[in-house]
Structure 1
Amino acid sequence: MSQTAAATRAVVVERQMPHPPEKVWRALTQSPLIGEWLMACDFKPEPGHDFSFSAEWGSVDCKVLSVEPHRSLSYTWAGMGLESVVTWTLTPMDGGTRLRMEQVGFTADQEMAYRGATAGWPRFLDKMEAVLAGLD
């Protein structure tokens, strides 16, 4: 393991959602829906696409790294000194989808960002579940 990998931490949140992967994928990749559960953005599910998330506290600059429709999505997440990567993995299961979010790249001196992500992602996924419940 490289020193860089050893020196970083990750936040991982997993949920079982009672929705098919195609429906969960919509919430992860359609800007209006992302805006309902995460933040306003100009996201497009295209590798290399630069986009940003914005909220009242500021913004996060991102770039799409990889897209595997209905299976996985990865993008950089850079803001307030944090350089990280967010990866979403969708796994079909009986009655829905197992959704896994992993954000990697928190260094030892980024305790506040790490704690914020640890507390924030479960709340964002709660909101995503509410958005999904309202979709056809």
Structure 2
Amino acid sequence: MTDTDLRTMTIERDFAHQPEKLWRALTQPHLIADWLMQNDFVPALGHKFQLRGEWGGVLDCEVRAIEPQRRLSYTWTFANDDPAYALDSVVTFTLTPSATGTRLRVEQSGFRPDQKQAYGGAHAGWKEFLGKLDTLLTNL
């Protein structure tokens, strides 16, 4: 299988908040825990960390790119004995200032063609996470 066989899930959302505020929510562990998952994130290139879901699963991650208030990318790996549920992907957040705040683009790449359920689950999951992120930003 080549990289061209892999699928990418993309979702965009406009937030009525400046990039600086959104960046804080993407990079401060206690804020990440409020909208995404419990974690030991550090905003440093190469930092290895874990995201721990309420469902008991653990994602192994590593920061791949960090451009303050512009772009954050990290691996998103879920090991599972069943290959249909194992996932080796990359999540990238891109922030673009807009007239009303910030447009956030989330891309999760690396879904194999046989992972239709994981792909659909990621799309639904990111919509839910971004809803929680919007609530958090409004309350900050």
The alignment's TM-score, normalised by the length of structure 2, stands at: 0.92
Aligned to 2:115: 110
Aligned to 1:120: 125
Aligned to 1:32: 30
What residue ranges of structure 2 are gaps of 5+ in the alignment? 81-85
Counterpart secondary structure, 2:43: coil
Counterpart secondary structure, 2:2: helix
Separation in 2, partners of 1:115, 1:134: 29
What residue ranges of structure 1 are gaps of 5+ in the alignment? none
Counterpart secondary structure, 1:132: helix
What one-letter code is carried by the residue in structure 2 that aligns with 1:37?
W
Q: Any conservation in 1 of the 2:91–2:106 contact (CA below 8 Å)? A: yes
Compute the RMSD of aligned alpha carbons: 0.9
What stretches of structure 1 move > 2 A for 4+ residues in a row? none
- Residue-by-residue CA offset, 1:50-77 (whole Å, 9 max, x unaligned): 0000023211000000100000000000
Query: Number of aligned pairs?
Result: 133
User: Within 5 A, what are the aligned runs for 1:1-136?
Assistant: 4-57=2-55, 58-79=57-78, 80=80, 81-135=86-140
Separation in 1, partners of 2:16, 2:122: 24
Separation in 2, partners of 1:33, 1:121: 16
What one-letter code is carried by the residue in structure 2 that aligns with 1:130?
T
